[in-house]
Amino acid sequence: MSCTRLGLSLLLLAALGWTEDEHGSEHASHPKKKGPDHGHWSYADKAQWQLEYPYCGGQMQSPINIDTNSTIFSPELQPVVLAGCNLDPSEQLSLMNNGHTVVLQLPGSLTIASGYPQEHRAMQLHLHWGSPAGPGSEHTVDGRRYDGEIHMVYYNPSYESIKEAMRQPGGLAVLAAFLQVGPEDNVHYQPLLEQLDEIQEEGKETAVAGFNIEGLLPTNLGRYYRYSGSLTTPPCYQTVNWTVFNQTVLLSKEQISLLETTLQGDDDKDLQNNFRLTQSLHGRKVLASFQAALSPRRVPLPGAGCPPCGDSENQLGLSLQTADVLAGLFGVLFAVTALAFLIYIHKQRSQNTRPDSHPKPNVIYTAATTDENAV
Ligand SMILES: [Zn+2]
């Protein structure tokens, strides 16, 4: 496990002088209880966000659809390594329903130690989901929307404050992973999901004992997409260096259902479909830390409709690659064997035609068999 435990001391957001942005954002702020200054945007009017929040109409917006055929392999992109994420159970973390999502506050001692040009410190994580009627990830891959998506938000501490970082290019880093229905409960998500019924109403808050935060992410943090984008909620600051992991996180059907049906948002309605539609790239490039050529998407298989996400697809990609290598290897072995056999036949014929040679019919077979039996 790449995660190593750092100091126990918490670097609380408050200690950094952080105060909530006037508009609030589950991506970059510590949400407060609903009040006069509560951000009044909603997912129902997301087409109107840019009227009040101009950045939402910008040209570096998130989320995006990741067209895997257009991604660019970048060998400089090193695996993401987290540090300090195995939080002690004595640490109490705030878990809140802010009306737009469920937010877990994270200590700044949790960092991204590698995978970005500089270290980033954690702020919070939150989730996006759909409804029983359909999936709700924010990013899509080759047009496919997944059941849900986790966003782990970090800031660049080289800026004077989190508030400053979230407004500056490269000030924020978000680790994103797709949530997908799998065969069994994901125990890493239980600390969050089992508390949801305590924060059903907007503004409700509870405490969660520290646990291993890295367990919420995929096991493979080496294969991911990277691009420059924005917060996916108002004020849509275009300051996020995104990481979207290729491997998905599997939750049981019951766990996904719990997420989709427990919380309430504005007007006491079910908090569902809290995802923004994908935004235009406007010429932006999406980098990949891995060679997309190894992905199964380039090898159409009967009935294979999945983009290159999830364990099964990854394994399929590796097995296809292995099959190619083995086929080549056997081809070479066959050619060498055939060549050796031809040379041997040629030698035998040469010997047999030499005037002083003694014919030894079947000698090689007889002798070899005898030797083998004698051993
Ligand atoms: Zn988000």
Task: Residue 191: give its domain's CATH number.
Answer: 3.10.200.10
Give the position of tokens 């998506």: 149
Range of the domain at 361: 318-374
Q: What's the alpha-carbon Rg for the chain, to the nearest Å?
A: 28
Does one domain contain both 282 and 323? no
User: Does the pLDDT of residue 14 top 50, yes or no?
Assistant: no
pLDDT tens-digit map of 287-329: 999 996 555 444 333 333 333 333 333 333 333 344 455 555 5
Separation between Cα atoms, residue 249 and residue 188, nearest integer Å: 10
27 catalytic per annotation = no
Which range has the top average pLDDT, 16-20, 42-46, 57-61, 335-339? Answer: 57-61
Nearest to 75 by CA among 322, 287, 247, 248: 287
What distance in angstroms lies between residue 139's CA and the mean position of ligand 1's atoms?
Answer: 10
What distance in angstroms lies between residue 181's CA and the mean position of ligand 1's atoms?
Answer: 19
User: Does the pLDDT of residue 370 top 90, yes or no?
Assistant: no
In DSSP terms, 295 is beta-bridged to: none
pTM for the predicted model, two decimal places: 0.73
User: Does a structural domain hold residue 5?
Assistant: no
What distance in angstroms lies between residue 276's CA and the mean position of ligand 1's atoms?
Answer: 9
Separation between Cα atoms, residue 346 and residue 340, nearest integer Å: 10
Amino acid residing at 108? G
Lowest mean pLDDT among 294-303, 325-334, 361-370: 361-370
Q: How far is CA 54 from CA 13, 31, 258, in A?
A: 27, 21, 35
Strand ordering across the sheet containing 65-66: 65-66, 140-141, 144-145
Q: Which segments of 16-82 does DSSP mark as H helices, in order?
A: 49-52
Mean pLDDT of the chain: 79
Give residue 160's pLDDT.
Answer: 87
- Given 305, 333, 354, which residue is the final one in a domain? 305
User: Does the pLDDT of residue 365 top 90, yes or no?
Assistant: no
| Contact criterion met (CB below 8 Å) for 349 and 325 | no
What distance in angstroms lies between residue 362's CA and the mean position of ligand 1's atoms?
Answer: 77
User: Does a structural domain hold residue 361?
Assistant: yes
Active-site annotation holder among 30, 100, 126, 128:
100
Does one domain contain both 299 and 325? no
Give residue 327's pLDDT.
Answer: 56
3-class secondary-structure state, position 175: strand
Q: How many domains does the chain have?
A: 2
- Token pair in block for residue 118: 């500089």
Separation between Cα atoms, residue 191 and residue 129, nearest integer Å: 18
- Given 281, 305, 329, which residue is the final one in a domain? 305
φ/ψ (deg, to 5) at 290: -135, 160
Give the position of tokens 């009227």: 51
- Given 284, 305, 326, which residue is the final one in a domain? 305
Does one domain contain both 125 and 217? yes
What distance in angstroms lies between residue 232's CA and the mean position of ligand 1's atoms?
Answer: 6
Does one domain contain both 126 and 99? yes
Does one domain contain both 214 and 360? no
